Structure formats: structure tokens, C-alpha cells
Homo-oligomer: A and B are copies of this chain.
Amino acid sequence: MELGEIVNGLLTPRERALWEASLARHMREYPKGADLAREGEKPGAFWIIISGWAQKYKQMPDGRRQILGLVLPGELCDLDLFTVARADHSTAAVRRLSVAEIGRAEAQRLFEKCPNLSPALCWAAMLGASVQREWTINIGQRNALERVAQLLCEIYVRQCGVPVAGGGTCDFLLTQGQMAEAMGLTQVHVNRIVQQLRLRCAVEVRNMRLEIPDFAQLAALASFNATYLHLGEARAGADRARMLFAAERDGSDRRSDGAA
């Protein structure tokens, strides 16, 4: 997430060129609803979202489905699947989606050539975990009105930042049914809440666009606090993450790969 900022700020010009060339070489399109990765399968890639939204989700045996998180353009998706034997969740296209798909071999090459890339991606993964935690409290503690308001705030801020005053508009690619799956509500109830928000805050969610005339008012309704998005911390955060990569490199103490 915030990968644009990270790439521009953290990679050297040479790394950045390698990175962007790699993305360009691995573009891929998915139609609405198509799975990028499926729970239980062996994961073989991570993705950078170019346009459209992706959704991480889990499904129960009886069909109940929970959207765990959304991945917006410019963000990183599912780096964690790289470390596990079998994916613990699925990832799908919310609508038509265009991504750069970085497989294992390509990832290996990039990490070798771009020493500043790993900390940047680590930061993105940490950020994803933080958002996941906020979703947990959102679903666990907020009522339906607060939940929907919170979702709208988050989506807006992740795309446009916190407005200094007033509000604005941004993309919003979810149907009310998908919003329901994301917030643990029903489609019918989300519909009623959206109508309430229209009346109370003049918020409009229509035609794949979200319009928030008064952001502060909506944020108050949701008790929205943007701290968990760690806005503007990407460069510093990735720099701090670099501590993990500070190992002495004499090689004497290094276990060989692939040991099990």
C-alpha cells in the first residue's frame, strides 16, 4: 500500500527502473469476480494493483462469505501468501481488474537486484495487518451505521487522504451486496443505512463513485480515526523495517535454503 510513495521515495533510480520494467512485463487482467488466488491452493505470486479493486475474502463451508479487506490501485496484495504452504484466504477481482503479477522466480530476481525493495514490501504488509485490525473492531463493536460510515471514510482516505476541510469524491467500486459481505451485514440492511447516510450527511454512493460533502461529519458518525492508516509514514516505516535486514553478512552462520 502506498507503494507509489514507497517506490519513489525508497528505491534508487536504478532499482526503480528495474521494478517498473518488471511490473510492465507482468501485466494481467481479471474479469469481475475472478479469483486471483484461492484458499487452500499453493500460492505462487503476489500482485500490485494497477487499476480496479481486489478483495480478499474467506468463505465458510455453507457459503457464508466475509470480505477481509480491499486492495486499491497502487497497493500491494498478498505478499504473505509467499511464505505459506497453502493460502488461508482467497483473493478476487471486485470488478474488472488489472494487476502486475509477480511470481516466485521474478520476485527472487527483484529482491536480489533491489536491496531496498524488501523493507518497502514489509512495510506494506505491516500496513495491511493494521487495516485488518481496524476491520475487526469495526465489525465487532460498531453498529451498522458506524460501520458503513467507517468503510466510506477509509476508502476515501486511502485514495485521497484526509480532507483539510469539506470533502470530495472518489472511486467506489463495491455494490451494496459487497459492502454487506465486508461488514458482516445483509444487503438489505446496508441499503437502509446508505439511505440514512444520504439524509444525515448528504453522502452519495452511486455509479461507482463516492461523494462526501462533509468529511468531518461522516468521520464523527463513525468515530473514524485515521491513525491506523499510518498516512505519510511509508518512507520512515520502510526505513525502520530495514532493521530486520541488518544481519552481518560474513556467511559463516547462514543456514542453507530449503532445509526442512
A interface, CB within 8 angstroms of B: 10, 12, 14-15, 39-40, 56, 58, 60-62, 64-66, 68, 80, 82-86, 88-89, 104, 107-108, 111-118, 121-123, 125-126, 128-130, 132-137, 139-142, 183-184, 223, 227-228, 230, 233, 235-249, 253-255, 257-260
Out of B84, B130, B140, which one reaches A84, CB within 8 Å?
A: B130
Interchain CB contact under 8 A, A111 and B230: no
Say whether chain A's binding surface is mostly helix, strand, loop, or mixed: helix
Q: Give the distance in Å from the alpha carbon of A240 to the alpha carbon of B82 in the complex.
A: 7
Interchain CB contact under 8 A, B248 and A115: yes
Interchain CB contact under 8 A, A112 and B240: no
Shortest Cβ distance from A48 into chain B, in angstroms? 16
Chain A to chain B contacts (Cβ below 8 Å), 5 pairs: A60-B141, A68-B133, A88-B134, A113-B248, A136-B136
Given contacts A56-B133, A68-B136, A235-B260, 19 further A-B contacts (CB under 8 A): A10-B255, A65-B141, A66-B141, A83-B238, A84-B240, A85-B230, A85-B237, A88-B230, A108-B246, A112-B247, A113-B248, A115-B249, A122-B122, A122-B244, A136-B136, A136-B139, A139-B140, A140-B183, A242-B257
Chain B residues whose C-beta falls within 8 Å of the C-beta of A227 in the assembled complex? 39-40, 86, 88
Interchain CB contact under 8 A, A233 and B85: yes
